[in-house]
């Protein structure tokens, strides 16, 4: 099996490293400094599964044309806003890739991939696995879940290519499952990602020594978290989905939908305490982007729910405020001229 990761930052590099450790042939396509560092010294991975340096079965290049051979699975991990330019530059890979899939925070990603490579060559995918870049050639694996990856055919059928991919990821130590409902999984993943990003950025902002672990342990912070979660959940349900908690235990939307507000607040505070006890201190990637003065995926995640709420006539005042705050921060840190910040 040959897996090619297009846009190998933190997450893509960790995925590639873990697969390569099991003997899967992996090609990472990333920034020049990252690719050069890996070529010289191997890929250093540290974090929740310890530290290792991966060299065998792992190639790293900076241009798609430099990737060699046929590709069984092309994995797209670039920022959603970079999709168009990335796919345009990946023309040398299109005819050599048997299957393409995206792990982006988006519910339109599969359609965009299908426009590029053909619907029959695209499978759906979603993950809550998390990682971050520390330096060229060095990444940190920051988070996982009992089932952190889902793969499925977009038409819901079973297939050998899904089975092969699930087996490869499981062999690499990732919690992984096939699903007949990949569209719902992708929406629920976006629900979770939008909640964590909106909450982290607006509850913590630019306080460098704090994360959502701290905010959740305060009653006002827990109350705000619950309000955001309930508003996002109302949109998700308005789209016709029933909460399934695909990424449990971090996703607990079924219980949220069934319990009263006070019970949800108490549980949110307990979640913060358990995260603190476990040493969970990470930030979502969108928050890191702002801290590094980079553009974010706010329109593709939080904005997707704001637009859906408008279409459905669902009031989401906290979510809309969070969206505007994140966009405002983005305009300031990137010096963007805010011509129109409406979602």
Boundary of a domain, candidates 180, 208, 238: 180
Q: Among 159, 180, 201, where does a domain finish?
A: 180
CA Rg value for the chain: 20
User: For the chain, what's the residue count?
Assistant: 343
Phi, psi of 177 (to 5 degrees): -150, 150
- Look at residue 129 and tell me if it is in a domain: yes
Q: What is the mean pLDDT of the chain?
A: 94
Of 160, 180, 200, the one marking the end of a domain is: 180
Largest Cα–Cα distance in the chain? 57
Is 223 in the same domain as 246? yes
How does 137-167 read in b/e, with b if 16+ C-beta sit within 10 Å?
Answer: bbbbbbbbbebbbbbbbbeeeeeebbeebbe
Question: Looking at the structure, do residues 17 and 163 belong to the same domain, yes or no?
Answer: yes
| 193 and 146 in a common domain | no
How far, in Å, CA of 117 to CA of 95, rounded?
8
In sequence order, what are the beta bridge partners of 46? 140
Taken in order 237, 242, 246, 252, the sign of the CA dihedral is positive
Residue numbers of the domain that contains 258: 185-334
Query: Same domain for 152 and 245?
Result: no
**190-205 pLDDT per residue, tens:** 999 999 999 999 999 9
The domain spanning residue 266 has which CATH number? 1.10.1040.10
> Is the four-CA dihedral 33, 165, 172, 10 of positive or negative sign?
positive
User: What's the CA gap between 42 and 95, in Å, rounded?
Assistant: 29
Phi, psi for 178 (deg, rounded to 5): -90, 150
Are 165 and 227 members of one domain?
no
pLDDT, residue 342, reads 52
* Domain identity same for 172 and 253: no
What percent of the chain lies above the pLDDT cut of 90? 86
H or E element: which one contains 240?
none
139 falls in which pLDDT band (50, 70, 90)? very high
Q: What is the pTM of this model?
A: 0.90
Instruction: Say how many domains are in the chain.
Output: 2
């Amino acid at each position: 099996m040959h897996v090619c990761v297009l846009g190998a930052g933190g997450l893509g590099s960790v995925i590639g490293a873990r697969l390569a450790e099991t003997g899967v042939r992996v090609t990472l396509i990333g920034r020049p400094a990252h690719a050069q560092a890996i070529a010289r010294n191997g890929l250093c991975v540290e974090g929740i599964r310890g530290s290792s340096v991966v060299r065998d079965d792992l190639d790293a290049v900076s241009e798609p044309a430099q990737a060699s051979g046929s590709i069984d699975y092309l994995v797209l991990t670039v920022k959603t806003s970079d999709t168009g330019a990335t796919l345009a530059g990946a023309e040398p890979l299109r005819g050599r890739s048997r299957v393409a899939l995206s792990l982006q925070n988006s519910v339109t990603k599969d359609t965009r991939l299908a426009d590029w490579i053909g619907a029959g060559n695209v499978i759906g995918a979603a993950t809550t696995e998390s990682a971050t870049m520390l330096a060229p050639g060095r990444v940190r694996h920051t988070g996982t879940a009992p089932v952190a990856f889902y793969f499925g055919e977009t038409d819901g059928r079973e297939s050998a290519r899904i089975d092969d991919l699930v087996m490869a990821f499981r062999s690499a130590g990732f919690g992984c499952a096939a699903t007949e409902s990949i569209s719902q999984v992708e929406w629920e993943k976006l629900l979770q990602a939008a909640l964590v990003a909106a909450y982290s950025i607006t509850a913590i902002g630019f306080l460098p020594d704090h994360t959502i672990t701290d905010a959740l342990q305060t009653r006002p912070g827990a109350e705000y978290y619950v309000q955001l979660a309930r508003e996002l959940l109302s949109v998700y349900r308005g789209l016709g989905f029933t909460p399934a908690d695909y990424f449990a235990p971090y996703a607990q939307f079924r219980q949220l939908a069934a319990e009263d507000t006070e019970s949800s607040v108490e549980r949110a505070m307990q979640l913060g305490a358990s995260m603190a006890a476990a040493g969970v201190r990470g930030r979502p990637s969108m928050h890191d982007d702002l801290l590094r003065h980079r553009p974010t995926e706010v329109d593709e995640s939080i904005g997707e729910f704001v637009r859906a709420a408008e279409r459905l006539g669902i009031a989401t005042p906290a979510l809309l405020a969070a969206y505007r705050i994140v966009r405002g921060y983005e305009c300031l840190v990137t010096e963007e001229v805010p011509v129109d910040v409406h979602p």
